[in-house]
Chain A
């Protein structure tokens, strides 16, 4: 059987969504960002919301997310994405507004914006990608870097007594009254990606229905920053990262479940 014989419409089982552009992604092989971008854009596509969607990109590895996501996007200053999303949603309440942020962006420099956006209950979807390291700037310590983990700025391992403990900001914002749903996911297995997509769909529906802030953390590996092969990075994540940042629902429909 030749390639041309296989490439027929009736054999098509999977197609790239048109909500991802054809631009070649700059992410390292093994990085979770591409998968998370795809999951988000596939759901927006399936829900027919391209013309109603405005996204906010962060500063960090996904700073160029706007080049890949085929929806209207704004680039925020480092950490300010929730402030941008607040204004967009307030000025155009009928739109679907999301932020896409990393751990340095959302949980360090943008902590104030994150907490106050959630506390106001801005009806947006926040996607928080936690890879426990600053990838773009070359692997420095993040607020979510695990205890003992070696990075460029914690070369002898994170000493929690000197620099504090890895911050579970997701658990911090969950009890806020304005927050409607909070869950933690991964993308290191196909089943996990499907689970993430279901959470994204619910988050879009609920934020569009003005229930409150919907917050999804995705633990993602950074094999370049962790200096592991992609396969080993996923293993290391399952064994170490997910021990501390435990996946699952934290708040469902306004009720704490953990």
Chain B
């Protein structure tokens, strides 16, 4: 029988983490994602699966705890919101450099600075273009429902371990706080030490006599070998771009105009598409599920059949740059967004389409 629950997105993420066989969660409270650690502390997963939950002294510390846990071959994760995610950039760069698998959730709120605690999508650049220092990429998953807040945990860990790469879930305050129906995935076992030694032979779990000592580091003082390492990372990123693009297309088959939106903006746009179609305007929605790798080819495949695109974001225009890069000036690309924690109504999107795109 399916395990159907009514939960907040943040809670669904936390419960799904326990069920994904997560070994450790290290976090620091920040609105609007504090329910993640609150749920875990109340649930006491150490009694269910042995999962460790620890409240760190800062996001700087929690992401470095994630680094260390990942370096031990464990499934580890953290969650935060925008200002906290900025503090984590140092650690994430080291994690990417050392090629460690982990899962990070950013429930985005409006910035810059301390900004607001209301929902936003203004961390797109930071999520997809780097954020920290150095040539690196994160796999970025954008849930648009409570169900996806749960489903992307297991998927995120699988991708992280497949590519030895950090995976970021980029949600927003709406997805984190909304209560919806969610079907919980079944419980996965945690890795045993034998499995870790076999499947992640690079992990620092104690030097056995049959191998050299393992070193997890992102340091290489020689320029030529550091270049080789960065080129190796690039090859991995190329492979991810070739294999892991995910997106959803809604009513795009006959669409003359296509909205591009992710996360809660995509939910708003779904309603806007229906309102516009009721007026006889053929509009579709392309929802990137992976923000990196970006569904460039999927957008390009639509270009010959449509008159224009509109990127709809809760920011002042960040993803629209990737849409424009994909479209290469062949058709019109417009933008509509609200910022600072304002969630637009579907009618505002309808109005923007009518005034800017048609």
Contacts and interface: CB of A to CB of B under 8 A. Distances in A.
Interface of A: 21, 50-54, 56-57, 63-64, 66-67, 69-77, 80, 83-88, 90-92, 95, 112-113, 116
Given A91-B24, A92-B72, A72 B61 contact: no
B65 to A, nearest CB: 4
Interface in B74-129: 74, 76, 90-91, 94, 98
A51 B218 CA distance: 23
B216 A74 contact: yes
A64 B74 CA distance: 24
Given A64-B219, A71-B207, A84-B68, 18 more contacts: A51-B206, A51-B207, A51-B209, A54-B204, A71-B213, A73-B204, A73-B214, A77-B94, A80-B91, A85-B68, A86-B56, A86-B68, A87-B76, A88-B204, A91-B24, A91-B52, A112-B58, A113-B61
A83 to B, nearest CB: 4
A70 to B, nearest CB: 5
B57 A116 contact: yes
A84 B66 CA distance: 8
B205 A92 contact: yes
Query: B72, B90, B206, B214: which has the most chain A beta carbons within 10 Å?
Result: B206
Contacts of A71: 206-207, 213
Contact of B64 (A72, A80, A95): A80
Q: Which 7 A-B pairs have the closest CB atoms?
A: A75-B217, A84-B68, A87-B65, A72-B204, A83-B64, A116-B57, A87-B68
Indicate the member of A54, A85, A112, A116 with the most B CB atoms within 10 Å: A54
Contacts, number: 126
B61 A88 contact: no
Interface in B198-246: 204-209, 213-219
B23 interface: yes
29 contacts: A50-B206, A51-B209, A52-B206, A53-B206, A54-B72, A54-B204, A66-B217, A69-B213, A72-B205, A73-B213, A75-B98, A75-B215, A75-B218, A76-B64, A76-B67, A77-B64, A77-B90, A77-B91, A83-B60, A83-B62, A83-B65, A83-B68, A84-B67, A87-B24, A87-B54, A88-B68, A88-B69, A90-B24, A113-B60
B206 A72 contact: yes
B206 A54 contact: yes
Contacts of B193: 92
Contacts of B60: 80, 83, 112-113
A51 B193 CA distance: 13
B71 interface: yes
A51 B214 CA distance: 11
Nearest to A116: B57
A185 B193 CA distance: 37
A62 to B, nearest CB: 12
B217 A50 contact: no
B134 to A, nearest CB: 12
Given A70-B213, A73-B204, A91 B72 contact: yes
Contacts of A53: 206-207
B136 interface: no
Contact of A87 (B66, B98, B214, B215): B66
Contacts of A63: 219
B262 interface: no
A84 B95 CA distance: 12
Most buried by B among A72, A113, A116: A72
B217 to A, nearest CB: 4
A66 B56 CA distance: 26
A5 to B, nearest CB: 34
Nearest to B26: A87
Nearest to A56: B68
Contacts of B204: 54, 72-74, 88
A129 B205 CA distance: 25
Contact of B215 (A66, A86, A91, A116): A66
A52 B212 CA distance: 14
Residue of B52, B71, B209 with most chain A CB atoms under a 10 A cut-off? B71
B217 A74 contact: yes
User: Most A CB atoms within 10 A — which of B61, B76, B98, B219?
Assistant: B61
A147 B332 CA distance: 67
Given A77-B91, A77-B94, A91-B72, A72 B57 contact: no
A87 B207 CA distance: 18
Contacts of B74: 91
